[in-house]
Amino acid sequence: MSANVVAYTNPTCPHCRRLKDYLHRHGVPFENRDVSTDQAAAEELQRMNAPGVPVTKVGSDVVIGFDPDRLDEVLRNNHIAAARG
């Protein structure tokens, strides 16, 4: 069973759009949590001590910011394929 992928974003963030596009392009299923409208998601983000969005949580791993190389590593480590394309 693969780890869940959760993207913490807000609609005005250009890096958030890049993250979601990256996940879509690479066929990675994910749950998007909009921290601007979802108070529970905003609180989760705060508990992770993240300075802002985007943040991607893959299983217990957290990637702060849009970092394709780190995302690839974390996805591989959690047995989720993300082919570069």
Backbone angles phi, psi at 64, to 5 degrees: -95, 130
Q: pLDDT-derived band of residue 80, with 50, 70 and 90 as boundaries? A: confident
| Mean pLDDT confidence for 6-22 | 97
| Mean pLDDT confidence for 57-85 | 88
CATH architecture of 5-77: 3-Layer(aba) Sandwich (3.40)
The distance from CA 69 to its chain's CA centroid, rounded to whole angstroms, is 13
**Tokens representing residue 40 in the block:** 């529970």
At 14 the three-state DSSP class reads helix
Break the chain into its structural domains and give their ranges. 5-77
Half-sphere exposure of 73 (CA within 13 A, CB side): 7
CA–CA distance, 44 with 15 (Å, rounded to integer) = 19
State the pLDDT at residue 85: 47
Please identify which residue in the block is written with the tokens 């705060």.
Answer: 46
> What's the whole-model pTM score?
0.90
